[in-house]
Amino acid sequence: MNMKSPENQWVTALFIAVALLGSARAQNSPITPLPLTAVSETAGSTLLVPYFEVDLTNPNGRNTIFTVDKGGRLDAVSMGGVNSNIPTAVLAHVTVWSDLGVPVLNFNIYLTGYDVETVNMRNVLGGVLPRTASAGQDPSDTISPKGLKSQDINFASCTGFLPPASLTATQISNLTAALTGKAAPTQCSGLAYGDNVARGYVTVDVVNSCTTQNPGDVGYFNNTVTFQNHLTGQVFYVDPSNNTARGGNVVHIHSNDNSAGPPDPIVTTAGNYTFYGRLNGFTASDGRQPLSTNFVARFNPGQATGSWRVPAVPPARASLIVWRDPKMITNPFSCASKPPWYPLGQEGITAFDEQEHPQSITGMAPFGAATQLVQVGGAALPVTFVAGSLFLDLNTTVAGAPVPSADPAAAQGWVQVIDGKFGVLHNAQQMDSATKPTHTNP
């Protein structure tokens, strides 16, 4: 064999590269973080469940279940200079928000190194919170048992917080009222659809202590949240009464982790858009990447009753889950009014059929709330095409809101599609980032 031939020299180089890669892995070399302009599905410091709904009338009706997963080996503890592959334990702080962006409940979750906690929103709204506890509140290791490869530590601040007590009857009543657009007890927090379905969204932050604070409360970003990118998660929308279930990943929001390199000016410079910017006056104290502002959502028709070629009834349509940033703090409000930013507008909505014929949707605000489920082709989004793509430019200005100085019209969001044909859930395509938003609609 001629080892000096071009082919064999290439093979030799490949073997050397593989050997070096294996050596790097054996030494647990740090992984280069992704740029904070990209919203990826790697572990983040904040999770966003962009929408939830719970049918409070039917115990077998619509419900939302999500998980909070502790990312494993990427954050392993070094002991005596040797990476032990025992990942750190962390605290996660869960905040439940109404569909108009009012925080209505928060609680803490302790996670050992490879832990996973499932949060059933029907149980939460019934007053039963996830039961976890750190080593100090769980000396017998029965509430949050530790695996052989996981770290289990004491968070002294969680004494009296973990394991959590059940909510009182008054707390449950106020919580469900707030999430169905009713007075709780005298002011409202959400939209009233009149169907007794609780709606909203959820955020989950990595924190350094148990707390009852909401994101945006004094000291929360400066003293309580951490910048550890440790969490992943999934969300499942289930409806046992109709034998349907669909799910996918939650939104993984990354922060500037100083341990992984120098500060990233994208999320550490005051005036830049960050995920929680509306809650801190866009000072970048949260250090978390923003989401996108422009999306392309592919939609398909569903199967109709009758012949496939000549349906007896119109086919089922796709639906969009759309989370929006109100760009300002929202507190409970008089039930006779709405928050000053509502409804949120947008710069443009254009639909294309599968032959690329365009249809502009104007004079409407189909995604006016902080979160909503909207049917494509329904009254709120009257697209006449049965199948095609939607181009959504969700940028908008909000009078009286603090604004990112680089682009006051920038407005982050997130879009998921419930496909009409297959019934699956998938993310719409991200076209940009709120760090550098685009303002071009077809």
Domain count for the chain, please give it. 2
Residue 75 has pLDDT above 80, yes or no: no
Residue 245 has pLDDT above 70, yes or no: yes
Residue 332 has pLDDT above 80, yes or no: yes
Of residues 305 and 257, more confidently modeled: 257
Residue 111 has pLDDT above 70, yes or no: yes
On whether residue 308 sits in a domain, the answer given is yes
On whether residue 34 sits in a domain, the answer given is no
What's the rounded mean pLDDT across residues 296-305?
Answer: 73
Q: How confident is the model at residue 3 (pLDDT cuts 50, 70, 90)?
A: very low
Mark which of 279, 310, 334 sits at the end of a domain: 279
Q: How confident is the model at residue 170 (pLDDT cuts 50, 70, 90)?
A: very high
The pLDDT score that the predictor gives to residue 211 is: 97
Residues 209 and 310 in one domain: no
The pLDDT score that the predictor gives to residue 2 is: 44
Residues 52 and 186 in one domain: yes
CA 415 – CA 16 distance, rounded (Å): 44
On whether residue 69 sits in a domain, the answer given is yes
Residues 270 and 296 in one domain: no
Q: How confident is the model at residue 36 (pLDDT cuts 50, 70, 90)?
A: low
The HSE-up count of residue 135 (CA atoms within 13 Å, CB side) is 12
Q: How confident is the model at residue 68 (pLDDT cuts 50, 70, 90)?
A: very high
What's the rounded mean pLDDT across residues 36-41?
Answer: 74
What's the rounded mean pLDDT across residues 80-93?
Answer: 74
Residue 331 has pLDDT above 80, yes or no: yes
Grouping H, G, I as helix, E, B as strand and the rest as coil, residue 10 is: helix
The pLDDT score that the predictor gives to residue 264 is: 85
Residues 93 and 193 in one domain: yes
Residues 258 and 302 in one domain: no
The pLDDT score that the predictor gives to residue 442 is: 84
For the stretch 71-75, contacts whose Cβ atoms lie closer than 8 Å and that sit 24 or more positions apart, written own/partner, are 71/43, 71/229, 71/230, 71/231, 71/232, 72/113, 72/114, 72/149, 73/28, 74/31, 74/43, 75/228, 75/230
The pLDDT score that the predictor gives to residue 314 is: 52
On whether residue 30 sits in a domain, the answer given is no
Residue 410 has pLDDT above 90, yes or no: yes
Asked if 306 contacts 439 with a C-beta cutoff of 8 angstroms, the reply is no
Residue 353 burial class via C-beta count within 10 angstroms: exposed 0-12, middle 13-18, buried 19 and up: middle
Other Cβ atoms less than 10 A from the Cβ of 388: the count is 23
Mark which of 249, 279, 309 sits at the end of a domain: 279
On whether residue 5 sits in a domain, the answer given is no
Nearest alpha carbon to residue 323 among 372, 289, 274, 288: 372
Q: If you average pLDDT over every residue of the chain, what do you get?
A: 87
Residues 316 and 270 in one domain: no
Nearest alpha carbon to residue 96 among 129, 71, 69: 129
Residue 369 has pLDDT above 80, yes or no: yes
pLDDT cut 90: percent of the chain above it: 73
On whether residue 54 sits in a domain, the answer given is yes
Nearest alpha carbon to residue 207 among 133, 115, 295, 109: 109
The pLDDT score that the predictor gives to residue 94 is: 98
Residues 351 and 256 in one domain: no
Residue 12 has pLDDT above 90, yes or no: no
The pLDDT score that the predictor gives to residue 261 is: 65
Residues 275 and 296 in one domain: no
Of residues 265 and 324, more confidently modeled: 324
Give 20's strand partners: none
On whether residue 250 sits in a domain, the answer given is yes
Nearest alpha carbon to residue 272 among 437, 430, 49: 437
Give 159's strand partners: 162
The pLDDT score that the predictor gives to residue 140 is: 95
Strands 388-393 and 371-375: unpaired
Residues 213 and 356 in one domain: no
On whether residue 142 sits in a domain, the answer given is yes
Strands 388-393 and 294-299: antiparallel
Asked if 128 contacts 87 with a C-beta cutoff of 8 angstroms, the reply is no
Mark which of 279, 304, 339 sits at the end of a domain: 279
What's the rounded mean pLDDT across residues 195-199?
Answer: 97
CA 95 – CA 235 distance, rounded (Å): 15
Residues 82 and 222 in one domain: yes
Residue 69 has pLDDT above 60, yes or no: yes
Other Cβ atoms less than 10 A from the Cβ of 222: the count is 11
Asked if 333 contacts 188 with a C-beta cutoff of 8 angstroms, the reply is yes
CA 205 – CA 223 distance, rounded (Å): 13
Q: What are phi and psi of 305, to 5 degrees?
A: -75, 130
Residue 58 lies in domain: 46-279
Residues 236 and 326 in one domain: no
DSSP secondary structure letters along 206-224: EESS---PPTTSTTIIIII
Residues 302 and 271 in one domain: no
Flag the least confident range among 68-77, 110-119, 124-133, 367-376.
68-77
The pLDDT score that the predictor gives to residue 84 is: 52
The pLDDT score that the predictor gives to residue 7 is: 38
Grouping H, G, I as helix, E, B as strand and the rest as coil, residue 181 is: coil
